């Protein structure tokens, strides 16, 4: 992982949305490297009932924008 930035998008009740932008290198067994730059993804999360933990209920990767509208 070369870069990872998370941006809070909003929340309502026990649900929230976060956008993320990352750059990452994939190193393959043959020695080649694939670089992905500034990839956008969106996370929709929900609080686990009776807990302070949150779970990802939807992850949309390779988006043209940071997050849901």
Sheet holding 54-63, edge to edge: 3-12, 15-27, 33-47, 54-63
Residue 69 has pLDDT above 70, yes or no: no
Domain boundaries, the chain: 3-63
| Mean pLDDT value of segment 54-58 | 96
The pTM assigned to this predicted structure is: 0.75
| Tens-place pLDDT, residues 16-44 | 999 999 999 999 999 999 999 999 999 99
How far apart, in whole angstroms, are the C-alpha atoms of residue 5 and residue 38?
A: 10
Residue 45 has pLDDT above 80, yes or no: yes
């Amino acid at each position: 992982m070369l870069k990872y930035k998370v941006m809070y998008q909003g929340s309502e009740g026990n649900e929230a949305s976060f956008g993320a932008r990352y750059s990452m290198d994939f190193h393959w067994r043959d020695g080649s490297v694939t670089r992905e730059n500034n990839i956008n993804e969106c996370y929709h999360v929900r609080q686990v009932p009776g807990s302070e933990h949150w779970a990802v209920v939807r992850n949309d990767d390779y988006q043209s924008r940071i997050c849901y509208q």
